[in-house]
Amino acid sequence: MTGPRLITVREAAEVLRCHPKTVERAVRAGRIPATLFAGRYLIRPRDLPTPGSHPVRVRPAPREGSMRAIAHEITQAEREAS
């Protein structure tokens, strides 16, 4: 018997097209439900936010060379969420 499929923070970040640290921060803040197992967060795919339904920002992968602008946007969003 197998349980529900669980994904790692890294896999969730790939699905959401964001940095794994962004997903980890959302998990720690309680915005994405997760289970801590053997020191790693495991997430049910159905618990991932969809665009417009959750405060975690979901956007296309950053373009090369624009990391500074992306970092600024993330910082602004975190400040607004606080």
Can you tell me the mean pLDDT for 55-66?
56
What are the domain boundaries of the chain? 7-81
Question: pLDDT tens digits for 6-17?
Answer: 999 999 998 888
Model pLDDT, residue 73: 76
Please tell me the pTM assigned to this model: 0.59
27-50 tens-digit pLDDT: 999 999 999 999 999 999 999 987
* Nearest alpha-carbon partner for 56 in 10, 14, 25: 25
Give the whole-angstrom CA distance, residue 43 versus residue 41: 7
Spatial CB neighbours of 44, under 8 Å, sequence gap ≥ 6: 4, 5, 6, 7, 33
Q: Rounded to the nearest 10 degrees, what angle do helices 9-16 and 20-28 cross at?
A: 110
Beta bridge partners of 37: 40
pLDDT at 20 over 70: yes
Q: Residue 72: its pLDDT value, please?
A: 67
